[in-house]
Amino acid sequence: MANVTLRNVRKTYLGGFEAIKGVNVDVGDGQFCVLVGPSGCGKSTLLRMVAGLETVTGGEIDIGGRVVNQVEPADRDIAMVFQNYALYPHMSVFNNMAYGLRNRGMKETEIKSRVDEAARVLELTPMLERKPRQLSGGQRQRVAMGRAIVRQPKVFLFDEPLSNLDAKLRIAMRVEIRKLQRRLNTTSIYVTHDQLEAMTLADILVVMNGGQVEQVGNPLAIYEKP
């Protein structure tokens, strides 16, 4: 586990557009932080900077007590779940989850133990030999989460992971993600534009607008305000 601290983080894109204008956020060990706000407010930019997919043009990002701005993304010990969770269609569920670990040269016995454990947690054990097309949408999204879980990262990052699912499935998956978080207790940052999703999932809610943090705190306290 690790805390994630953003100190006066800024992002000016090439061309001069200032997408993030000095953001301070502190996500404690094992906390689930949700970034919410209208489209274009900078949520994805912020998450991508934590992931190392986007350069930081000001301030510091600290993961587990270490400033990571200058560290190679591969060394950050994070795993990200995307909205477009393209699985490899020709690979079994097992191999989809194992793929990243094999790339790192992990031993096959360790890979099997990690994939089996993730499959148990995600209730995918009976589906390990299936191909993605033989799964429902929710099962596929669980495989995508499995790929992140098997890496046993210090931090999970989620970029609108449910926005391609239908309404009923989103609600079911929201509950599953919350359960998963309670079980794994991994520090998480989750981006959504859906207020209800934010309310359900967040230990800490960060409300963004125009590249800045408008409010931070407990979701109930924030939404109860008049």
Q: Which is nearer to ligand ADP, 2 or 97 (CB)?
A: 97
Q: Is 13 in the site for ligand ADP (CB under 6 A)?
A: yes
Residues 132-161 that bind ligand ADP (CB under 6 A): none
Residues 216, 207: contact at Cβ < 8 Å? yes
Instruction: Kindly give the pairing relationship between strand 32-36 and strand 58-63.
Output: unpaired
One residue of 6, 9, 19, 180 binding ligand ADP per CB under 6 A: 19
Q: How many residues bind ligand ADP (CB under 6 A)?
A: 19
128 makes contact with ligand ADP (CB under 6 A): yes
Q: For the window 31-50, what string marks contact with ligand ADP as x by the rule CB under 6 A?
A: ------x-xxxxxxx-----
3-state SS, residue 92: coil
**Phi/psi of residue 193, nearest 5 degrees:** -105, 5
**Site residues (CB under 6 A) for ligand ADP, limited to 67-86:** none
Residue 156, both tokens: 């999970």
- Which segments of the chain does DSSP mark as H helices, in order? 43-51, 93-103, 108-121, 137-149, 167-184, 195-201, 219-224
Q: Which residues bind ligand ADP (CB under 6 A)?
A: 13, 17, 19, 37, 39-45, 90-92, 94-95, 112, 128-129
